[in-house]
Structure formats: C-alpha cells, structure tokens
C-alpha cells in the first residue's frame, strides 16, 4: 500500500478543527487531528507546505519510521505546531492500519484492558445553586467524576465558568468559540481565588457527600508556593486531582508543591514532548499525565510516555476539551482502553454541529466512554458538512491583574 494524497481540512462547527486526511492507492483513508487552538492555520500550513509532499509514495504501515522521519528529519524538533502536525500524521496512519486489518485501533495497541473509560465532565456556576445544578446534570449524564470551577467574588468573568446557566444550553464559556481577531481579556486576582476556592469545595462536599470524585483546574495561574498552599487547603475535600497549578515548564517547582501537599496533581495539557515530563515522572512529582494525543505527537509517543509513567505508578488523565476534535479524542480513547495505567478521561462531549461534521462510533453509556469497534479510529469526516462551516478567527481569553500586568495561564 502507498500514500497517494494528504489533504488538510479546516472547519469550524462551533470551534475550529484542523484535520489531515491521508489517502492510499488501495482506497483506504485515514484521519488525524492537528487542532491547535488559536494557532490552527499555522499547523494547517505546516502540514500543507512542508509535510504533505513527504508522505506521497510512503508505505502507510510504517508508522514508527514515518514518525521518526518527520521528527528527526526536520532538524527543528518539538514545539506545539510541529508536534500537532506529526500527531495528525501518526493518528491517520493508525487509522489506516486499523482499517486495513479490519480492527479498531485499541486492538492493535494490545486489546482492551477494561470495559470502558471513566470520565469527568466540567461543572461550573456563578454561584453555589448554579454550580450544584451543573454537578447534578453531569452526574445524570453519566459522569462518574466532576470538575468544579466557580466564579470568585471580585473577579467579573472567569475562564472555565459558563457565563450563563448551563441548563440554558450554554455548555461552556468558550463554546461557541469567542470569534474575533484578538483574545478577549479577563481580570485575575490570585488572592481572591485562593481565599474563595476552599469554601466552594466545602459546600460541594456538604451537598454531594464524600464519595463523588472532584477535580479542579488552576490553569497555570499560581506560583509554586501558592499552589502548595491551595493543595493543602483543599486536602479536607479529598480531590481526585488538582490540575495545572503552576506553569509546568518549571518541572522542578513541583518538588516544592509535592513536599507540602497530599492533594493529587495532574499536569501536561500544553506539553508536546517526553522531556517535558522527565523530572515530573522520575521523581514522582505528579499523579496524572494530562497530555493529549493531538499535541503530544500522536498515539505513538503518548503510548511511550504512559509506559514510562507506569514505572512510577502514574496514570493517564488525557486532555479532552472540545477544542480537540472527535478524531483526537478517539485516538486517546483507543489508547486509554488499551493501557494498564489508565486513570480517567476528560470528556466534555462535542456540540451537535461538530457531530454533523465528524461521524463517530464512540459511545458514552452506563458511565463509560468507549471508542467503538469500527475498524480504525472510528471517525469519518463529512467533507460537505465541513465546508459549510468555514474557519473563523477565534481565541481563548488572556488575563491581566488589576494593574494591567499580563498574567500566566
């Protein structure tokens, strides 16, 4: 079998998605997700102008060799744009291999280690009653665990907290994506946040009891000592994990956080290379790997980092927001089903419009996510439907302190 074409499809049903479609001379096609929120067209250009021609004529079965060729052969290694592009090629080749074998990708990765994947959904509220309603709705939908994000008095709008009640159909604050040519700006106040958040968790525990697994995302806004303080303050509420406390390129900063708190830690959604995790894994500074197949170079390197993590009793908690396409989500669902050290899968569920563009075999029932048994990744792209939703500029917000200083996130 030989690759005959590699096409890049950019579509925006609610959010922007970049998809690579590889076609072979045997008529088998494969899809890969290359979506990098806010920098989508950079990855599309990287694939179209620098990668597509390298794929023509190659044997699609040679996944490892193609990965190494694109990674080592470019001279410029790593970085989110490069690794999202390589990820798309890697996923598309796994998709083709599965279709050629007549097997879902998880079978090629060693077969299922479990019947399905435990998930968490995103609950949020501008006040406690709204938050409680949102938690209840996520439990009713089947999630076994819930992420808790809440407004903070003194902070007018907060990323991760829907600006309207989620019952009104607004599922998330950035879906549909905030269209426009520059990021909206929000105000941030770490002191107010650190003061308020433990009171929210106390209220949620009082309302829902001790057994519901609860998570929280700090979006990289704390210093290491602030993160340590928060982890300690949240210990009575027994979190499943505290995510992205501090910008994680400072891997050694996690020594300080770990030293002070027993709250489990998750990090890595912005990572794109195994080296980003080296200190965190080998010193057991985290409990969950947050990488996404889409941003980490695909299924192949994500499998390898999870095998390394297993040596240190660290589990998966792959990044699954709605700005990872159904193809990227399927890729990590197949991997999560196969690996032994699966932890939890983030699952927000894509919008109706997204489902008209990407048809998937994935199911979510009885509290478990399953990628389905269709050969390959189990996702097909309706190109006509995709064309009906052209790319639109959209950016996540950035945040500033009250005095105007731009802040981490």
Task: Tell me which stretch binds ligand KDG (CB under 6 A): 94-102, 191-199, 318-326, 360-368.
Answer: 318-326
Catalytic residue among 219, 220, 295, 350: 219
Nearest-angstrom CA–CA distance, 43 and 110: 31
Residues 193-232 that bind Mg ion (CB under 5 A): 217
Structure token digits, residue 253: 């900063």
Supply the Cα-derived Rg of the chain in whole angstroms.
21
- Whose CA is closest to 375, among 111, 92, 114, 105? 105
- Whose CA is closest to 292, among 135, 138, 87, 127? 87
CA–CA distance from 53 to each of 47, 58, 74 (Å)? Answer: 9, 10, 13
Min separation Cβ 229 and Mg ion, Å: 20
Which residue among 19, 346, 370, 389 contacts ligand KDG (CB under 6 A)? 346
Site track for Mg ion across 81-110, x = CB under 5 A: ------------------------------
Min separation Cβ 314 and ligand KDG, Å: 18
* 373, 99 contact by CB (below 8 A): no
* 88, 22 contact by CB (below 8 A): no
Residue 90 binds to ligand KDG (criterion: CB under 6 A): no
Min separation Cβ 190 and ligand KDG, Å: 17
Min separation Cβ 24 and ligand KDG, Å: 32
Which residue among 14, 16, 29, 37 contacts ligand KDG (CB under 6 A)? 37
Nearer to Mg ion, 33 or 217 (CB): 217
Question: What stretches of 267-325 show up as alpha helix (H) in DSSP?
Answer: 278-282, 299-311
Nearest-angstrom CA–CA distance, 293 and 223: 28
Min separation Cβ 174 and ligand KDG, Å: 8
Which residue among 33, 95, 175, 323 contacts ligand KDG (CB under 6 A)? 323
C-alpha atoms less than 13 angstroms from C-alpha of 98 in its C-beta half-sphere: 29
**159 part of the active site:** yes
Residues 199-218 that bind ligand KDG (CB under 6 A): 217
Which residue among 142, 184, 321, 367 contacts ligand KDG (CB under 6 A)? 321
* 50, 38 contact by CB (below 8 A): no
C-beta atoms surrounding 377 within 10 Å: 34
- Residues that bind ligand KDG in the complex, under the rule CB under 6 A: 37, 217, 219, 269, 319, 321, 323, 346, 396
Residues annotated catalytic, as ranges = 159, 219
């Amino acid at each position: 079998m030989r690759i005959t074409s590699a096409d890049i499809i950019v579509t925006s049903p609610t959010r922007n998605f970049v998809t690579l479609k590889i076609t072979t001379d045997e008529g088998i096609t494969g899809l890969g997700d290359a979506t990098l929120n806010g920098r989508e067209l950079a990855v599309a250009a990287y694939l179209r102008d620098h990668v597509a021609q390298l794929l023509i004529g190659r044997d699609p079965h040679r996944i490892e060799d193609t990965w190494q060729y694109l990674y080592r052969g470019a001279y410029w290694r790593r970085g989110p744009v490069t690794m999202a592009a390589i990820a798309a090629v890697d996923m598309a080749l796994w998709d083709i291999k599965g279709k050629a074998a007549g097997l879902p990708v998880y079978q090629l990765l060693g077969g299922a280690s479990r019947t399905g994947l435990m998930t968490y959904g995103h609950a949020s509220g501008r006040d406690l009653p709204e938050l409680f309603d949102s938690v209840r709705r996520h439990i009713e939908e089947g999630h076994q665990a819930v992420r808790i994000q809440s407004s903070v008095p003194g902070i007018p709008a907060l990323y991760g907290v829907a600006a309207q009640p989620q019952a009104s159909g607004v599922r998330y604050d950035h879906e549909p994506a905030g269209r426009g040519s520059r990021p909206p700006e929000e105000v941030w106040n770490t002191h107010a946040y650190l003061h308020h958040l433990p009171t929210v968790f106390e209220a949620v525990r009082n309302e829902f009891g001790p057994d519901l697994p609860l998570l929280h995302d700090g979006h990289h806004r704390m210093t290491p000592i602030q993160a340590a303080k928060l982890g300690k303050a949240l210990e009575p509420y027994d979190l499943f994990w505290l995510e992205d406390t501090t910008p994680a390129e400072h891997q050694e900063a996690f020594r300080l956080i770990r030293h002070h708190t027993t709250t489990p830690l998750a990090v890595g959604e912005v990572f794109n290379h195994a080296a980003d995790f080296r200190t965190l894994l080998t010193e057991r500074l985290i409990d969950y790997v947050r990488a996404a197949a889409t941003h980490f170079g695909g299924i192949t390197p994500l499998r390898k980092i999870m095998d390394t993590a297993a040596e240190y009793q660290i589990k998966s908690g792959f990044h699954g927001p709605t700005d990872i396409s159904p193809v990227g989500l399927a890729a990590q669902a197949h991997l999560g089903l196969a690996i032994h050290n699966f932890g939890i899968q983030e699952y927000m569920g894509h919008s109706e419009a997204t489902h008209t563009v990407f048809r998937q075999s994935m199911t979510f029932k009885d509290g478990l996510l399953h990628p389905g048994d269709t050969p390959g990744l189990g996702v097909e792209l309706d190109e006509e439907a995709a064309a009906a939703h052209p790319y639109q500029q959209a950016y996540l917000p950035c945040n500033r302190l009250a005095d105007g200083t731009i802040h981490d996130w």
